[in-house]
Amino acid sequence: MNPLYGRSMISRALLLVALAAPAGAQGTPQPGITVFQPSRSTTTFAVDLAGDVVQSWPGSFRPGSAVYLAPNGDLVRTQNLNGGFAGGGGGGGIERVSWDGQVLWSFQYTGATFHSHHDIALMPNGNVLMIAWDAVGGAAAVAAGRNPAGLGGAFLAEEIIEVEPDGLGGASVVWRWRAFDHLVQDFDATKPGFGVPADHPGRLDINFPAGGGGQNGDWLHCNGIDYNAELDQIVISSRALSEIWVIDHGTTTQEAAGSTGGTRGRGGDLLYRWGNPAAYGRGTAADQRLYGQHDCQWIDEGLPGAGHLLVFNNGTNRPAGAFSSADEVVPPINAAGTYDLAPLQSYGPAAAVWTGTHPNANSFFSTTTSGCQRLPNGNTMMVEGDSGLFIEIDPAGALVWSWQSDLAGAGSERTFKGRRLPGGVTGLAYCDPAVANSTGVPATLHAVGSLVADENALVLWAQGMPSGTFGFFLNGSSSGSFPMAGGSAGTLCLSGDLGRYANPAEIFSGGAAGVGSLELDLTRTPTPSGRVPAMAGETWFFQCWYRDPAVGTSNFTNGVQIDLL
């Protein structure tokens, strides 16, 4: 398995896709690698467009259930610890793993009354949001106004926790939101939260749906989560209610437990909900738009549809037929960062602004799992989770790529979802290996992302440095070899016009893991005469300088040559 993902591999993959494309398909697929983990596999995979494995991360656990590649090339994946409450999507733990498979930190969230499950969301500050079951129990549910008819002894609500790495290989909970703190009920006037659900759209009707939530009492069955840093808001998907909800993250844990305070002044009450207005008494079955959905997310800035919500609509019990789709929703957000809602009306819009599925919709249906993603070229990737079928369609609905997962040793092709990343480990390593540092091994530099200059999606990532180091990245107009440059123990592998990424925000601290990264802004590349755009057709050379505190000197990683497209 070759971890390099360069021009030749992309060209080969595009050729194979073009030969396999059905008649009438338009456009081309988005170049990149797709990261996913089959539900019965203990290994996470990155595959190219031809389905060839370009990187893999063996582990000890099956996923529980999502896996993501961070911008710097680290893998963050959930773990199925075979505990909890025997519900679908059960997890219990997460870990962050470097590109070469070293566990950087891990965290378990499982106990008698709580267990993480399904999805996570990566935050820009390095923290992680996790969904977890909150086992409040049947007695507490009845005391909160739940109709006991058909209710067993178990009753699971949901919570969201924010986990912060501690720099010592572990993490701790720094924020929490509980669904059970935001209830309304019209069953028992003697119980808390009594009122008309339609008058309280920011709260959850504890008697909807009326069923018992299955054998384990899984009332809400949340299965997807995403974070919008600009809004400081969270979107979460409830399969049982066929709704997606938006809540304010700009709260303290105490504010998140109430209905006031926080950035939007509503505490932890729902700011917005969409998909099934019957859930809050402002609609009927005819108004339902989501059917057992997964993978709710904001479309990222810079992508077509940025700021809209995208969700994989599984279509379970869909009146129009048994097919799955990706639905794009334009939320009615206002200048205050809240969402417009007319008196006695349901939250808009009345329908998705765009819906996409396989051209043969009846052949594309997954009752569970699954996911979707808007890509930089405007196409949308979808994963039919039950079978592990990956497809990409253009905005007009034409199929431009498909791949049936068939990895040897995966055990099953069933997949929770996947994510396409621009490129992968790219460029050409040289001056490799570098001079060993005080850890006894050399530090290494990778470039992760896309070689396409206009995509501006390239990250430098250094690892294997001593604990407690600091450093910065360099570039040059040509390669070179200058041993012990400037009194360093290592070799400077750059020459010509040298640039240094030395702004305060660009200097890194390697921490306990000895890792540093930098998201390059190719429109502002440092040179001796100032910052300039790096253009398609140019070749740039990069290296990392770092301090080795154990020996009181500095060192260098290997170099990486980047040929921009």
Cα 352 versus chain centre, distance: 22
Distance, in Å, from the CA atom of 276 to the CA atom of 292, rounded to the nearest integer, reads: 11
Q: Identify the pLDDT of residue 27.
A: 64
pTM, rounded to two decimals: 0.79
Region of 215 on the Ramachandran plot (φ > 0 left; ψ -120 to 50 alpha; else beta):
alpha
Cα 315 versus chain centre, distance: 23
Q: Identify the pLDDT of residue 128.
A: 98
Task: Write down the H helix ranges in 49-112.
Answer: none
Distances (CA, A) of 199 to 247, 281, 341: 18, 8, 12
Task: Write down the H helix ranges in 104-170.
Answer: 138-143
Q: What's the average pLDDT block by block, 10 residues per block, for the chain (565 residues)?
A: 27 27 52 92 90 89 95 91 79 92 94 96 96 95 92 90 96 98 98 98 96 78 97 98 98 98 98 98 98 97 95 97 97 97 97 97 96 95 96 94 84 91 80 95 86 86 88 96 94 96 92 82 96 96 96 95 94
Q: Identify the pLDDT of residue 423.
A: 66
Distance, in Å, from the CA atom of 493 to the CA atom of 491, rounded to the nearest integer, reads: 6
CB 205 within 8 A of CB 280: yes
Sheet holding 128-135, edge to edge: 114-122, 128-135, 156-165, 171-178
CB 16 within 8 A of CB 49: yes
Q: Which domains does the chain have, with CATH numbers?
A: 63-356 (2.130.10), 427-563 (2.60.40)
- Within 10 angstroms of residue 511's Cβ, the number of other Cβ atoms is 17
CB 74 within 8 A of CB 99: yes
Q: State the residue for tokens 């037929």.
A: 321
Q: Identify the pLDDT of residue 310.
A: 98
- What is the residue type of 497? D
Sheet holding 233-238, edge to edge: 222-228, 233-238, 243-248, 272-274
Distances (CA, A) of 342 to 32, 328, 335, 345, 348: 43, 22, 16, 5, 9
Q: Identify the pLDDT of residue 5.
A: 28
Q: State the residue for tokens 């309280």.
A: 200
Q: State the residue for tokens 């909970």.
A: 173
Q: Identify the pLDDT of residue 86.
A: 67
Task: Identify the burial level of 350 via C-beta atoms within 10 angstroms of its C-beta, where 0-12 means exposed, 13-18 middle and 19 or more buried.
Answer: exposed
In the chain, % helix, strand, coil (3-state, to 5) comes to 10, 40, 50
- What is the residue type of 37? Q
Could you tell me the maximum CA-CA distance found in the chain, to the nearest angstrom? 80
Q: Identify the pLDDT of residue 81.
A: 94
First to last CA, the chain: 24
